[in-house]
């Protein structure tokens, strides 16, 4: 595990989406559609969060040929990520009075 990832607006949006998903896990495409973030921004964020130990990811357990689509990589919050993510949101909420996209 490395140091905490930088908390940018897009990073907070990704964290918020993953924290809402609970344990089901979300694919990058699911996250991108939900929060309107481009893949060129999203995947580096997911990589940093996973490298920091805040996320885990696994390939979907399906038969791609049977489903008629490629398998998805599913991202989930780790217990450390959930704690650190909540702490990051609390720090921001206390310091600035709210998050702009939650208005």
- The pLDDT tens digits for 13-64 are 999 999 988 777 899 999 999 999 999 999 999 999 999 999 999 999 888 8
Query: Among residues 46, 62, 63, 56, which one has the least CA distance to residue 25?
Result: 56
pLDDT at position 68 is 92
**pLDDT of amino acid 23:** 73
Higher pLDDT, 37 or 1: 37
Per-residue pLDDT at 40: 95
Return the structure tokens found at 27. 């694919």
Going along the chain from its start, the domains and CATH numbers come out as 9-61+71-89 (1.10.10.10)
Predicted model pTM: 0.81
Alpha-helix residue ranges (DSSP H) falling in the chain: 9-21, 28-35, 39-51, 64-67, 79-96
For residue 12, the 8-state DSSP code is H
**pLDDT for residue 2 is more than 70:** no
Output the pLDDT for position 64. Answer: 86
With 50 as the cut, is the pLDDT of residue 103 above it?
A: no
Reported as a single tens digit per residue, the pLDDT across 72-98 is 999 999 999 999 988 988 887 776 655
């Amino acid at each position: 595990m490395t140091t905490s990832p930088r908390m940018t607006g897009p990073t907070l949006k990704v964290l918020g989406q993953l924290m809402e998903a609970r344990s089901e896990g979300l694919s990058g495409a699911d996250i991108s559609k939900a929060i309107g973030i481009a893949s060129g921004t999203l995947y580096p964020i997911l990589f940093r969060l996973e490298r920091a130990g805040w996320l885990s990811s696994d390939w979907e357990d399906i038969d791609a040929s049977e489903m008629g689509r490629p398998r998805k990589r599913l991202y989930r919050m780790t217990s450390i990520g959930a704690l650190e993510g909540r702490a990051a949101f609390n720090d921001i909420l206390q310091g600035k009075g709210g998050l702009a996209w939650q208005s």
